[in-house]
Amino acid sequence: MITIRPISDLRNKFSEIEETVVEENAPVFLTKNGYGTMVLMSLDQYDQLINPIESKLDEADLQASQTGQRFSSPEVFDRVRERIDND
């Protein structure tokens, strides 16, 4: 279930938000004046989100250091779109 709270709850009901984020391992979406403004998540959730990306970037850095082959922006975006379409 998605948890949406006003940003004022961050100040006034921090412990409730912390419990949702940490103990329930669920992100909390914060709103300001009725519009989404940010998402709070636990460090574990953040790591799970970022680690695969960081790993792929490390692989790309290693590959780039081992070859002189470079692609233009349009080539990169075309290749990404092709991979997305084939999945």
Q: What is the pLDDT of residues 30-84, one digit of tens each?
A: 999 999 999 999 999 999 999 999 999 999 899 889 998 888 999 999 999 999 9
Q: How many CA atoms lie within 13 A of 30 on its CB side?
A: 17
Please report the domains of the chain, with CATH numbers, ordered by start residue. Answer: 3-41 (3.40.1620.10), 44-86 (no CATH)
Four-CA torsion 29, 34, 36, 42, nearest 10 degrees? -20
Q: Look at residue 45 and give its three-state secondary structure.
A: helix
**pTM of the complete model:** 0.66
**13 pLDDT tier (thresholds 50, 70, 90):** very high
Give the pair of three-digit tokens for residue 38: 């940010």
Asked whether 5 and 30 are in contact (CB, 8 A), the reply is yes
